[in-house]
Amino acid sequence: MAEFLLKYADPRGEIHQQVAVADSEREVRDRFSQQGLLIYSVRARSHVAAISTPLRRKKKKFSTEKFLIFNQQFMTLIRAGLPIVKSLDLLSERLADPKLGLWIKAVRDEVRTGTLLSEAFRRQEVFPPIYVTSVMAGEKSGSLADVLERYVVWQKLAVAVRKKMITALIYPSLLMVMVVCLIVFLITYVVPNFAELYRSMSATLPAATRILIAVGTTARNYILLGIAGVFAAAGAFWMWSKTDAGEERIDRLRMKMPVFGEVWLKYLVAQFSRILSTLLVGGIPLVQALETAANSIGSRLLKVTLEDVTRLVKEGQSLSAALVETKVFPELSIDMIEVGESTGALSAMLNSVADFYEDDVTTRITAALSLIEPAIMIFMGVFVTFVLVALYLPIFSLADSLR
């Protein structure tokens, strides 16, 4: 007899964990499934997957687009009637991403030993929680292909929105880099050279020129120290940002930013709504779907907020009422969710919330960037003009004195 750590959801959707004693993992699953429980995972307490242990030492990242292609092919093979192990075997040898291929082979090998597909994906500790939970729901309902199709649709939408935002930010980012490089070049190279010229001429310099030369010569003398300081500060900030307190603090600062704070919050609300809708359509209970959605969101602040929402829903409150108490979600999204709950169409309304806010985010980013780009150009023009005027004023003064 061995001990197994069991995680399951009861008929009310509440998540529980307990230790079960049995001869095998299959016996534990059969025993608790017969009680009407939704098994989330069964794992031997001393279990260490020999296959996946070497893989876990590697960087746990793979291409989202290639994972999407894998799921499209996996869904097609399952619909064609191929067994899961055979489908994984075929796809693992043909994936363009070598890292993803290793993870899929590890999943295939665990499924061959009798492990459920969702449990095999979860044990790799690299696949998204929403994917693992969706696969588990597909196994439970016997509609794995349909669940994979819904996941593929959601992933396509998420990738499309992300690409739109990245495309919109590329040009302003390049413009900012060019402005910074121009400023550094003028301050650390052009200005000190003019300073040497004026020093040799013993010219009387205007106040603006003296200030500019003082800044330029100081910057050139300490440029290496300044670069080292910037990298050190960036490294310290990066390490702090990886802590829970740092992530939450940064999220709060983002939320308070003018214009972009509201856009960022709406993007997260759209992401949460899309994930929750996908899970609910797949047959996952609301409480478990909220827990999975919280783990799938890339914001520490929103994750903590959703943990509070999950607790309130467990206590018997509706989802919309729980969201009101957090004072984070926009009022319009809460009103739409409340309508979805009252009409029994929560998953459809969550999709509508996601569509609305994704469109709003795209529109606002486009409008904001249309103002930022001219502002950057104006700043660059004003700065370059000031530098040129300050550097050439003494030359004009000397020309007047020679006349």
- Rounded to an integer, the average pLDDT of 163-182 is 81
pLDDT at position 168: 75
- The residue ranges of every structural domain in the chain are 1-47, 51-127, 144-403
Q: What is the pLDDT of residues 348-390, one digit of tens each?
A: 898 898 889 888 888 887 787 778 778 888 888 888 888 888 7
Give 213's strand partners.
Answer: none
Fold: same for 51-127 and 144-403:
yes
Give 147's strand partners.
Answer: none
Indicate if the pLDDT at residue 119 is higher than 60.
yes
Nearest to 192 by CA among 176, 208, 216: 216
pLDDT at position 59: 45
- Rounded to an integer, the average pLDDT of 290-296 is 83
pLDDT at position 232: 92
Indicate if the pLDDT at residue 215 is higher than 70.
yes
Q: What is the pLDDT of residues 69-93, one digit of tens each?
A: 888 888 888 888 888 888 888 888 8
66 phi and psi, to 5 degrees? Answer: -75, -30
- DSSP string across 209-255: HHHHHHHHHHHHHTHHHHHHHHHHHHHHHHHHHTSHHHHHHHHHHHH
- Rounded to an integer, the average pLDDT of 29-50 is 68
State the pLDDT confidence band at 202, using cuts at 50, 70 and 90.
low
Q: Considering Cα of 345, then 347, then 351, then 354, what sign does the dihedral take? A: positive
Contacts of 350 (CB under 8 A, 6+ apart): 273, 274, 276, 277, 280, 337, 340
Instruction: Describe the strand order of the beta sheet including 38-44 as a list of residue ranges.
Output: 15-22, 2-9, 38-44
* Category of 107 on φ-ψ map: left (φ > 0), alpha (ψ -120 to 50) or beta: alpha
- Rounded to an integer, the average pLDDT of 179-189 is 82
N- to C-terminal Cα distance for the chain? 106
Task: Answer whether CATH 3.90.800.10 is correct for domain 144-403.
Answer: no
Distance CA 153, CA 133 (A): 16
Q: What is the pLDDT of residues 316-348, one digit of tens each?
A: 888 889 999 888 888 888 899 999 988 888 888
| Cβ atoms of residues 92 and 74 within 8 Å | no
For domain 1-47, give the CATH number. Answer: 3.10.20
- Rounded to an integer, the average pLDDT of 20-33 is 76
pLDDT at position 402: 53
Residue 128 DSSP one-character state:
-
Q: Quickly tell me which residue has 């969201």 as its tokens.
A: 323
Instruction: Say whether 167 sits in a helix, a strand or coil.
Output: helix
Could you tell me how far CA 39 lies from the centroid of its own chain? 28
pTM recorded for the entire structure: 0.64
- The least confident of 5-14, 85-94, 269-278 is 5-14
- DSSP string across 293-328: HHHH-S-HHHHHHHHHHHHHHHTT--HHHHHHHHT-
Q: Quickly tell me which residue has 């400023």 as its tokens.
A: 183
- Rounded to an integer, the average pLDDT of 301-305 is 85
| Cβ atoms of residues 91 and 73 within 8 Å | yes
Nearest to 350 by CA among 368, 338, 367, 362: 338
pLDDT at position 56: 41
- Rounded to an integer, the average pLDDT of 102-118 is 84
Indicate if the pLDDT at residue 47 is higher than 80.
no
- Rounded to an integer, the average pLDDT of 249-268 is 83
- The least confident of 95-104, 242-251, 363-372, 391-400 is 391-400
Q: Among 1.20.81.30, 1.10.1060.10, 1.10.760.10, 1.10.3720.10, what is the CATH number of 51-127?
A: 1.20.81.30
**Which tokens is 270 given?**
């759209």
